[in-house]
Amino acid sequence: MISRPVSEERRRHDPTLVERYQAGHPRPLAQGTFRSLGLGLITGASDDDPTAIGTYAAAGAAFGPSFLWVAPMVLPMMFAVVYLSSKIGQVAGQGLFAVIRQHYSRWLLYFLLITAVVGNIIEAGADLGGMAAALNVIVPVPIRGMVIVLGIFVLSLQIRGYRLIKNIFRWLALVLLAYVGSAVLARPDLSSVIRGTLVPTLQFNKNFFAMLVAVIGTSLSAYLYSWQSNQEVEENISMGRRRLTDRIGTTHEEQRHARRDVALGMIFASVIMYFIILSTAATLFKAGKTEINTAAEAAQALRPLAGKAAGLLFAIGVFAVGFLAVPVMTIGAAFDVCQSFGWKSGLHAEPREAKPFYTMLFLFTAAAIGLNFFGVNPMRALVYAGIVQGVSTPLLMVIVMLATKNRSIMGRWVNSRSMNILGWLTLVAMSGATVGLLITLAM
């Protein structure tokens, strides 16, 4: 886990390190260009994918308004994870797994790679199934056939390239505002909402800690780390910085812009989480229907309790955000594999220029579709993937913290003291929730 020191020999001959150590400051942006607004929004919206929506809906149904405080509590942790991952992509000019390959041991790289890829594929499969089930709530369609159609359509979007995906994703993210409308239509009790938001309530039993771990885990999913760093690299390439030496480093202006953008994206994700919990707390929990397993079940159950409009808005949100989340997971997994083995990757590259990358995209999308056909229950598989990622995600956060405070990787852009404190507190909270679950299971 410890970063290998950079030798003087390598420092003199590695072009990447020569650029980093000789340059007094990073290469500035060309005049008139800037980091696109909305990269943080895309990441925040993809965090609220159909499986996350199902988790939040289940939390609201099981514990009611008393669980609302979790959404603002998780917000600073979400910011820490995504901003630090963004910083790696901006400063190192490479994705997270490329940095791990260059600076950390191979066994650690392969362990994180396997857990990330398996988790991404399972979650993408569950999301495709969730999208088809949500569409079935709106219009009766054969779910398995629709999974194939949706998978092929999502794959075609990925092949079209970064610019199209970025523009589509920013608009799709706004569909999540449907959950605000769904919660308002549910007519929650205002006093219960205020109390549940401002007064943290803990229940010392395994069901509560299992749900708390699930909510924290899905809001800090492993795919966020690599996706955000890779998105920064793709954004740099879109500005004309195709060589690695041109992408290394950043500016104070870019960092400020990234902090604001990531903060807005995470606030958006946290607000949506809050209103999803609220919509089911105000209806399903109140009616005594405390067990919800999927987002589609929540949408179906909301209709008789909060009206058809609320159920319809909930289902539309699930369906639309799936188009955003599934590519994030399959593209992220393809990036992770290619960076781990040093293969050319990127949405800016033509398929003939990056054959391994586009092959991985095809295989991972096909695997996600297949989970819905071959007797594998995607939701059950998601539970097991969550257990594996529950071990790997804190380890990934340790790597991110070590990398962003390492001058051989970040140069003069190492973390400030306040950012280090927030990052390590996030790690403690992630680990603490898991430890709490293990203690209650042993009791």
Q: What is the pLDDT along the chain (443 residues), one digit of tens a residue?
A: 444 444 444 444 444 444 443 443 444 444 434 455 567 777 777 777 777 887 888 888 889 899 999 999 999 999 999 999 999 998 988 889 999 999 999 999 999 999 889 888 888 888 888 888 888 877 877 888 888 988 888 888 777 655 656 666 666 666 777 778 777 877 888 898 999 999 888 887 777 877 887 788 778 887 888 888 888 888 878 777 777 777 887 888 888 888 888 998 899 889 989 988 998 888 888 878 777 766 567 667 666 655 667 667 777 777 777 877 888 889 889 999 999 999 988 877 888 888 999 999 999 999 999 988 877 665 556 555 555 666 678 888 999 999 999 998 998 889 999 999 999 999 988 887 667 656 655 66
User: If you count DSSP H runs as helices and E runs as strands, how many of each does the chain have, helices first?
Assistant: 21, 0
Task: Quickly list DSSP for 92-123.
Answer: HSS-HHHHHHHHS-HHHHHHHHHHHHHHHHHH
pLDDT of residue 245: 76
Phi, psi of 330 (to 5 degrees): -75, -40
Burial of 379 (0-12, 13-18, 19+ CB in 10 A): middle
Nearest to 434 by CA among 211, 277, 223, 225: 211
Phi, psi of 342 (to 5 degrees): 75, 25
Q: Break the chain into its structural domains and give their ranges.
A: 34-442
**Angle in degrees, CA 53, 384, 369, rounded to 5:** 65
* Residues shown for the chain: 443
The count of other CB atoms within 10 Å of the CB of residue 255 is 17
pTM over 0.75: yes
Q: In whole angstroms, what is the distance from residue 303 CA to residue 283 CA?
A: 10
Multiple choice CATH, 34-442, 3.40.50.720, 1.20.1740.10, 3.30.1300.10, 1.10.1040.50:
1.20.1740.10
218 CB-near residues (< 8 Å, 6+ apart): 47, 51, 52, 55, 56, 386
Query: What is the widest separation between alpha-carbon atoms in the chain?
Result: 70
Q: In whole angstroms, what is the distance from residue 85 CA to residue 266 CA?
A: 13
